[in-house]
């Protein structure tokens, strides 16, 4: 056994050493939580509505606001006190509509297309010639001759194709000679090479939503699937003009756009000012429906709240269920929350954040000093059967190390940097996160129901157990930003 690394593998060992499970509560209550979470789960009903009725939830979009309203209503139906906490305001709203594209000549081919967020629409179906991005002065001179006759779409099939010509291209755009910039998915540098024909699109949130409506972009930025891009490359090598048509129905709306987090409160019975936080981010990127980034986390947060409120549990400490906005643009909602409640961070015992997809919760890495408090909390979790029938070994592991450093790319980091014990769950399973992550495939169909039931149950048990500890969770070994 390595010093500073201790893995709890057997629930029987924990029972021999640990106090009563669920932070001092009864085994019967832990069993009721497990039964409610596994046998009466509503997690996939939440997932269906969020993904298939509301859909994508880009921060600052109408759909994001719909999701805020809907999740607030669901928490209120559970009897929780809910507040919308503002963390920012943008000058414009942006919503995507339908995207279509095709090659018209020399052959007819329908394209799969996407656009980055906060890019311009076309004015209906816009047909025009498409020309390769000039690679040198000679091809640029040739393009200028074409532009004198007609506006065109510019096509990029390699990364940084505009390098060295950006000013020239911008000039053509300002002259109204460019119908749109079209590029292959791979040329964006965003795709995962393991997955053929994946499209990933993001957006410039640092500038676009913060500009005045009058300064909104006017030229569409369009991404086509790689196989369609390869066909364009091939056709552009011939002398015959290539004609394409795109209909990009994006919409800018003048602001101001108020940006909110959703905060639901299950009041503590003994120490209500102290809190355990269960969190996920409500926003998503806009191409698909944000099923695993982060609909899965939203729905396990809702379901953990439902499990506990259905059973009428009374935790000693308050449990906050928080759905953050602006995570995809740089942890904006959670950062705003921590800034607003900075004086109360010493009262946050723990943060459990779910934002890593549809596999199942298998581990949590804690400090050595936390083990005496947490082994009782996690004892009933280790008794759970694995949701993956092919899995062999422990269903859950607590992994201990001397220290915890801030790290990761989700909302728990906003708390970690202030010294709050905050985690992303360690997940295990066959679904590669990179497949759906920010791609056209992040839809309801890739979510695994058995894993979601398991995750929500684990979260409910962990949150209630930590909320019921005799003392707040120790921060020994928890490092703030910059500490070593």
Those residues whose C-beta lies under 8 Å from the C-beta of residue 100, and which sit 6 or more positions away, are 110, 111, 113, 125, 246, 247
Q: Which residues of 96-147 form beta strands (DSSP E)?
A: 99-105, 109-111, 113-114, 126-132
Q: Give dist(CA 172, CA 153) in Å, integer.
A: 11
Options 1.10.167.10, 3.90.79.10, 3.40.50.300, 3.40.630.10; CATH for 6-93+255-467 is: 3.40.630.10
Output the pLDDT for position 52.
Answer: 98
Q: Is 107 exposed, middle or buried (0-12, 13-18, 19+ CB in 10 A)?
A: exposed
Residues of the chain with CATH 3.50.30.30: 97-249
Those residues whose C-beta lies under 8 Å from the C-beta of residue 312, and which sit 6 or more positions away, are none
pLDDT tens across 327-339, in order? 999 999 999 999 9
Task: Of 62, 51, 54, 92, give the one whose Cα is nearest residue 204.
Answer: 92
- The residues that bridge with 245 in the sheet, in sequence order, are 102, 127
Options 3.40.50.720, 1.20.120.430, 3.50.30.30, 2.60.120.10; CATH for 97-249 is: 3.50.30.30
Q: Give dist(CA 405, CA 410) in Å, integer.
A: 14
What sign does the CA torsion over 292, 324, 330, 416 have? negative
Those residues whose C-beta lies under 8 Å from the C-beta of residue 13, and which sit 6 or more positions away, are none
Residues of the chain with pLDDT under 70: 1-26, 160-164
Output the pLDDT for position 158.
Answer: 84
Output the pLDDT for position 481.
Answer: 78
Residues of the chain with CATH 3.40.630.10: 6-93+255-467
What sign does the CA torsion over 342, 346, 349, 350 have? positive
Phi, psi of 37 (to 5 degrees): -70, -35
Find the length of the chain: 484
pLDDT tens across 107-164, in order? 999 999 999 999 999 999 999 999 999 988 888 999 999 999 999 999 999 876 666 6
Output the pLDDT for position 10.
Answer: 32
Q: Which pTM was predicted?
A: 0.93
Q: Is 422 in contact with 413 (CB distance < 8 Å)?
A: yes
Output the pLDDT for position 239.
Answer: 84
């Amino acid at each position: 056994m390595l010093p500073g690394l201790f893995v709890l593998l057997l629930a029987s060992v924990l029972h021999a050493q640990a106090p009563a499970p669920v932070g001092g509560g009864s085994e019967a209550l832990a069993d009721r939580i497990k039964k409610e979470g596994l046998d009466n789960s509503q997690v996939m009903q939440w997932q269906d509505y969020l993904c298939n009725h509301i859909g994508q939830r880009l921060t600052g979009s109408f759909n994001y606001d719909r999701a805020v309203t809907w999740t607030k209503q669901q928490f209120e139906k559970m009897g929780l006190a809910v507040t919308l906490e503002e963390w920012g305001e943008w000058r414009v709203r942006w919503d995507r509509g339908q995207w279509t594209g095709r090659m018209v000549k020399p052959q007819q081919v329908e394209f799969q297309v996407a656009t980055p967020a906060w890019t311009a629409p076309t004015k209906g179906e816009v047909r025009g010639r498409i020309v390769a991005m000039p690679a040198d002065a000679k091809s640029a001179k040739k393009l200028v001759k074409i532009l004198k006759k007609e506006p065109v779409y510019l096509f990029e099939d390699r990364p940084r194709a505009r390098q060295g010509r950006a000013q020239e291209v911008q000039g053509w755009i300002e002259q109204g000679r460019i119908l749109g910039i079209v590029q292959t998915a791979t040329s964006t540098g965003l795709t995962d090479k393991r997955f053929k024909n994946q499209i990933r699109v993001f957006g410039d949130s640092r500038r676009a939503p913060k500009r005045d409506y009058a300064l909104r972009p006017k030229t569409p930025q369009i991404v086509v699937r790689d196989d369609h891009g390869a066909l364009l490359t091939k056709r552009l090598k011939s002398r015959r003009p290539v004609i394409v048509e795109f209909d990009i129905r994006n919409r800018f709306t003048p602001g101001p756009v108020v940006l909110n987090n959703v905060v639901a409160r299950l009041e503590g019975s003994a120490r209500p000012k102290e809190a355990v936080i269960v969190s996920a981010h409500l926003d998503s990127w806009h191409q698909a429906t944000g099923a695993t980034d982060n609909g899965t986390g939203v729905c396990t947060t809702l379901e953990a709240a439902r499990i506990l409120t259905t059973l009428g549990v009374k935790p000693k400490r308050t449990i906050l269920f928080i759905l953050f906005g602006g995570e995809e643009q740089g942890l904006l909602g959670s950062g705003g929350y921590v800034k607003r409640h900075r004086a109360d961070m010493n009262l946050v015992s723990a943060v459990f954040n779910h934002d890593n997809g549809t596999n199942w919760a298998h581990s949590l890495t804690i400090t050595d000093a936390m083990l005496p408090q947490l082994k009782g909390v996690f004892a009933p979790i280790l008794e759970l059967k694995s949701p993956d029938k092919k899995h062999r070994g422990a269903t859950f592991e607590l992994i201990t190390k001397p220290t915890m450093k801030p790290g990761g790319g989700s909302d728990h980091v906003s708390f970690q940097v202030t010294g709050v014990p905050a985690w992303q769950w360690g997940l295990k399973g066959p679904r590669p996160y990179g497949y759906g992550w920010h791609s056209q495939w992040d839809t309801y169909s890739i979510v695994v129901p058995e894993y979601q039931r398991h995750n929500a149950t684990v979260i409910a048990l962990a949150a209630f157990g930590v909320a019921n500890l005799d003392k707040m969770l120790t921060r020994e070994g928890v490092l703030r930003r910059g500490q070593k």
